[in-house]
Structure 1
Amino acid sequence: MSDRIRAQFAFLLEADRLRGIERQNLILDCSRRENSAEHSWHLALYALVLAPFAAPEVEISRVIQMLLLHDLVEIDAGDHPISDDVDWGAVEQAEKAAAKRLFGLLPEDQGNALHTLWHEFEQAESADARFAKQLDHCQPIFQTLYGADPVPEHIEVVRGNLFGGRAAALKETFPQAYDHAVDLLGHARDRDVSELTIRLPFLNAAEALKTIVRATWLGDGSRAENSAEHSWHIMLYGWILGEYAVQPIDTTRVINMLLLHDIVEVDAGDTPIHGALSPEALAEQEALEQAAADRLFGLLPKSQDIEFRGLWDEFESAETADAVFAKSIDRVQPVLLNLLNGGGSWLDYDVSLAQLDSRVGVKVTRGAPAVWDHVRAEVTPWFEENGRA
């Protein structure tokens, strides 16, 4: 098992580099460019929220998995805006080589499965892949058109994309999205798009998770991570490491919990695990998060409000097998990032190995003891070398 789990973590830590790939799109507040990791998280949320628009044969869990993976090749091949004049044949070859390298880091069975899923998305021939592609075309359009202060050139890119570009196909494949985008550009349409527009306030509000800065730094130490890209990375962790759950789990439910688990931080902010909070402060933070859940999930139609809030509550309670494992995996990723970046929040909060065991190890062991055995063995030398064992 040791070789297998080492290969899995090699892939997960390499995936961290997707956060360094900047896209042309700005985030909604227009303060900076979006990166490909947080874009992938937002697309997965689009898939969950806009599932009612998928064809009956579409399996949303596979769509979400495709969207978690679809841009990983940009780690090697880079991002290429549709408006750029590039050699798309060369890009295709670079992406194929990247997929072979990246998925080749995994154990053979998982690597083959993920590579096949990525290829299915690229081919866009299955119902799942076609819907995933539709969402990948929609999200940048709405992110631009709903932006606080969009760049005029980006508006023109959207216009060209809708009228003659790749998004023109949405007119037939996702007409509600096409008509609403055209409406936002000032070209009135008479189609009723209310089933779409009642869901966009939630997707737009949740997008602010990209601005919530966490205590953990990226593996390269260049900056602190944000909660949206953290959620994307944790979803990969939950998927890849699901076999180590101490009880049988539903991987789809685990991934969906991790997709939603930090959304309340849009209102309530992040609470560092190594930050010392009094019982009174913890109770106040819990009240803030409950109020945030009320507001944010309440932006959705009632059926989705109930469904998504139920998943979030289940995660918070950590009593079911799915939630116990999801909570465990949520604790693992920051540990590995701290090891990569030379200590990170362990240095900031003066953390000892004993404190890591009590604050993190106990929680991870509850849901995935084999994962903690591996992680603890990896980090112990750092604590010994830095006099914190």
Structure 2
Amino acid sequence: MQNQNLHGKLEFLRQAEKLKSVTRSAHTSTGRRESSAEHSWRLALLALVFEEELGDVDICKVLKLCLVHDLGEALSGDVPAPQAHAVPDKGANERQDLIAMTSMLEPSMQDNIVGWFDEYEAASSPEAKVVKALDKIETLLQHTQGDNPPGFDYAFNLEYGRRYTDAIPFLASLRQVIDEQTRKRLNS
């Protein structure tokens, strides 16, 4: 078997597996807390399902950004959006964890993965802007279908991530549909 740095790639994948155990504040439809890996999977699925509506973006790049956007959480965990203000260095911390996770990869692959994360964090390309918005949409969608605990803060969702979702006309209209579902949960 010929493959450069086979052992390093396998070790990276072992590190990335930890994302499956990182839980988020969202709950699945069965009431179990969802993992960051599950969130990333459905984020990528959203991108595929709405590919035609997303405009002139490179879907392959969109999917890469979806896969790496929360990868740094595998080491230090997720910070729920309502508490993000208490962790001002969240992105920098995730980036440092991502650098540690990718240190066993060849430098070009590490640079690509960290570069995609940086692009996402800065929303510096059309693809990153789409993924930022879809990331918020996926979270909102999960909150509308999750078996959430009593006292769940649906009102927070009505403003969450709006600067990203409202910047893309199709996603703004998709957001309106999800916001209506959020209002129903809030008022029930």
> What is the alpha-carbon distance in structure 1 between the residues aligned to residue 134 and residue 72 of structure 2?
19
Name the counterpart of 2:43. Answer: 234
Name the counterpart of 2:88. Answer: 282
Question: In the alignment, which of 58, 64, 68 is matched to residue 256 of structure 1?
Answer: 64
Q: Kindly report which structure 2 residues correspond to 1:1-389, keeping only aligned pairs within 5 A, or say none.
A: 176=1, 195-218=5-28, 220-245=29-54, 248-275=56-83, 277-278=85-86, 281-283=87-89, 285-341=90-146, 344=148, 347-348=151-152, 350-352=153-155, 355-366=156-167, 368-380=168-180, 382-383=182-183, 386-387=186-187
Pair 1:200–1:385, CA change in 2 (3 A): closer
What is the Cα deviation at residue 320 of structure 1?
A: 0.7
What amino acid sits opposite 1:282 in the alignment? Answer: P
Partner of 1:199, secondary structure, is helix
Pair 1:302–1:336, CA change in 2 (3 A): same
Instruction: List, as ranges, runs of 4+ consecutive aligned residues in structure 1 with deviation greater than 6 Å.
Output: none
CA RMSD of aligned residues (A): 2.4
Partner of 2:82, secondary structure, is coil
* Structure 1: runs of 5 or more not aligned: 1-175, 177-191
Matched-pair identity in %:
23
Q: TM-score, normalised by structure 1?
A: 0.44
What is the Cα deviation at residue 208 of structure 1?
A: 0.7
> What is the alpha-carbon distance in structure 1 between the residues aligned to residue 91 and residue 149 of structure 2?
22
Partner of 1:319, secondary structure, is coil
How many pairs were matched up? 188
Partner of 2:166, secondary structure, is helix
* Structure 2: runs of 5 or more not aligned: none
Partner of 1:282, secondary structure, is coil
> What is the alpha-carbon distance in structure 2 between the residues aligned to residue 324 and residue 317 of structure 1?
9
Partner of 1:359, secondary structure, is coil
> What is the alpha-carbon distance in structure 1 between the residues aligned to residue 149 and residue 166 of structure 2?
21
Partner of 2:88, secondary structure, is helix
What amino acid sits opposite 1:336 in the alignment? Answer: L
> What is the alpha-carbon distance in structure 1 between the residues aligned to residue 18 and residue 176 of structure 2?
33
Higher relative contact order (CA 8 A, sep 6+): 2
Tell me which structure has the larger Cα radius of gyration: 1
